[in-house]
Structure 1
Amino acid sequence: MMHPSDIADSGEVIAIDWGTSSLRAALMAPDGAVRERIASPDGIMFANGRRFEDIFRALFGEWIARHPGATILASGMIGSRQGWVEAPYAACPAGFEDLARGLVFAEVEGLAKVGFVPGLSIEHDDGVPDVMRGEETQVFGALASLGVSEGVFVLPGTHSKWVRVEGGRIIGFRTFMTGEMFDLLRRHSILGRLMPEGAPKGGEPGEAFDLGCELSGSGTLLHHLFSVRSRGLLGKTAPEQLADYMSGLIIGEEVREARTFFTEAPSPVYLVGRGDLASLYRRALAHYDLQSAALDDGVTFAGLFALARTHRAQMKV
């Protein structure tokens, strides 16, 4: 697999990770180093009537004025049907070259051309379709950063993804609504009534999380979920530990189910995401004898850099 730094190019890259609730961006040097960063709450659901083009101009006009020849790529929900410009899904299996060929460009009049990264789609053997948008860029960034061409990558979050890569191509993935399920149950079900108000406590998960993971091994999540309430009512789990216990049940169930899709245990499982989520998943993975290695979610920028270089190489052919 060609490493993006092997492609000679003299231009900067403006890499934009534009999601549902927030936006992150990096101005990257020709060698891939991050020179400057931007973080903004201007996710696609928080435009509040503003045009995405106007948000783009306000945030990136100064960078573009200094680097008018920069390649500008945006990944995430900004390229969805609810975003600025829809970049249709590319079908799995897919590699760097497939994503680069699927880039959809839009002209921002008088300023720059912006490329939107396509998501990926797949239909599983049972006929159930699945999609991702944004995570594919993180996975390809992880491949470029690690210098590997295969592995299993887990991207925890609202909709957690398990992604299988072989020969530098994403050959399959599965989505689990783990984070959203936890949030719904905590905020909008009777299970959250005994939990303290506010966000769950930070820090390392404790014995309550481990117990949830252990019980998840039986594969009876709907039965065990009610024990979040019964354990609290009977004083078997302290109120401040109930969120950890429920988290262990739900994340443990995700890992248990995902593990059944592999004929042999992947080693290691690469975790891509926030440090607090990675810590939870590393602990849950260990319950199922899966080794793991954590990567910072900044690999998104590495993925956009790699795609920019691959696109430029394709344009030269």
Structure 2
Amino acid sequence: MVSHADSASLLGLDWGSSSLRAFLLGSGGKVLAERSNSQGASTLSGVPAFADALQGIAGDWLAAHPGLPILACGMIGSQHGWRDVPYAACPADAAALAAGMLSSPGAEISIVPGMLYDDGALPPDLMRGEETQIVGALQLQPALREASCIVLPGTHSKWAQVNDGRLRRFATHMTGELFAVLRSHSVLGRLMGDSGAFAEHAFVAGVDAARDCGHLGMSHQIFAARTLGVTGRAPASDLADYLSGLLVGHELRAGLAWRDAAGLAQAPLALVGSHVLCQRYALALQRFQAEPPLLLDNTAPAGLYHLARAAGMIKD
């Protein structure tokens, strides 16, 4: 419940593919209230559907605060979103993202552009939504601005290199999606049990296998998630977390080498995302003898607020 004493400055929307999160933000980016539902951009089609979803999650807030500016990030700005907003090119900072914002048709909503990294040598990389979380992380933790590596674990994990407050380059690892596909749609999932409890020892064993024997190749190593079960070397309840550890371990093996090659080995390392997932990545990083990372929760509200200020939507 928002009290009458609270003065709202911005309605921030983190509108991903499968979910919608709304934040009523006050002065300085204080979160006055938040809501979420499953009306992600991929579940909607057409301007009326997006407008109805906005009213459904925040209609009462907007009625109570006439003229409240609205800023959205995420897949809402994709080809399948409310409006296709062109990507901002790396390197970029908050000012560059603010300059690339566009308004949605049929409503006074500004949409943050995603980001594109394309050096012309390797295939391009893309993000939508994570750039706002990175902006938020830099606002909440100024020590990250000079030089840092920011990791956002998830379905499509992002590793981002920051220098002088600008996102210089980033790399995507489809770790979460690979796990879901392999568990649900491959032979590996047939023996996996589900005890509901995290088998930490199995996860660590998978991370260690990637760390120590990653040179054998991930496509070879993941078959162990079946053979360990077939031979009785591991119980069914361990196999899913062993596979998860293998995939995360291979991500860290590549990501840490990529970070070090960029000269950021001594720079701060931050994890941004859900507490449970970041804790597992922190555990995996210990197995690589990496420095303890800075753990940040959802930084999207702080990012949305700062971008709104950079765009001149709000002043405080």
Note whether the superposition's TM-score is higher than 0.5.
yes
The Cα shift of 1:11 comes to 6.6
Question: 2:149–2:162: 8 Å Cα contact kept in structure 1?
Answer: yes
Q: After alignment, is 139-148 or 88-97 more displaced?
A: 139-148
| 1:132 corresponds to which of 127, 131, 139 | 127
Take 2:33 and 2:276, find their aligned partners in 1: how far apart are those partners?
Answer: 25
SS at 2:171 equivalent:
strand
Contact 2:149/2:161 (<8 A) preserved = yes
CA-atom RMSD in angstroms:
2.0
- Deviation sequence 1:74-111 (CA, Å, 0-9, x none): 00101111100111100000000000000101353xxx
Measure how far apart 1:202 and its partner are. Answer: 4.0
User: How do 1:10-25 and structure 2 match up within 5 A?
Assistant: 12-25=9-22
8 Å contact kept, 2:83–2:105: no
The alignment covers a number of residue pairs equal to 299
Once the two structures are superposed, the pairs formed by residues 1-317 of structure 1 within 5 Å of their partners are 12-47=9-44, 51-106=49-104, 108=106, 113-124=108-119, 126-148=121-143, 149=145, 150-196=147-193, 201-203=196-198, 205-217=199-211, 218-219=213-214, 220-261=217-258, 262-263=260-261, 264=263, 265-291=265-291, 292-297=293-298, 299-312=299-312
Equivalence for 1:4: none
Give how far 1:294 is off: 1.1
1:308 aligned partner, one-letter code: A
SS in 2 for 1:64: helix
SS of equivalent residue, structure 1 residue 257: helix
Work out the percentage of aligned pairs sharing the same amino acid: 41
- Superimposed CA distance per residue, residues 253-308 of structure 1 (whole angstroms, 9 cap, x where no aligned partner): 000011121235244321111112112111111122222121102x1010000001
Whole-angstrom distance in 1 between the partners of 2:79 and 2:51? 16
Q: C-alpha separation between the residues in 1 aligned to 2:266 and 2:183?
A: 32
**TM score, norm. by length of structure 1:** 0.89
Q: Is the 8 A contact 2:36 2:57 kept in 1?
A: no
Distance 1:243 1:17 in 2: 30
Q: Secondary structure at the match of 2:113?
A: coil
Work out the CA distance in 1 between the residues paired with 2:104 and 2:185: 40
Residue 5 (structure 1) aligns with: none
Q: In 2 relative to 1, CA 202–140 (structure 1 residues): closer, same or farther, beyond 3 Å?
A: farther
**Cα separation, 1, equivalents of 2:282 and 2:273:** 12
Q: Is the 8 A contact 2:183 2:189 kept in 1?
A: yes
Q: CA deviation at 1:115?
A: 0.4
Is there any run of 5+ residues in structure 1 with no aligned partner, and where? 1-9
Is contact 1:269–1:290 with CA below 8 Å preserved after alignment? no
The one-letter amino acid paired with 1:209 is F
Partner SS for 1:25? strand
Structure 2: 5+ residue stretches without partners:
1-6
> Counterparts of 2:122 and 2:75 in 1: how far apart (Å)?
25
CA separation in 1, counterparts of 2:83 and 2:42?
A: 15
Shift of 1:46: 2.4
The 3-state SS of whatever aligns with 1:94 is: coil
Task: Tell me how far apart the structure 2 counterparts of residues 85 and 65 of structure 1 sit (CA, whole Å).
Answer: 24
Normalising by structure 2, report the TM-score.
Answer: 0.89
Choose 95-104 or 40-49, whichever is displaced more. Answer: 40-49
SS in 2 for 1:248: helix
The whole-number CA distance in structure 2 between the counterparts of 1:98 and 1:126 is 23
CA distance in 2, matches of 1:124, 1:277: 30
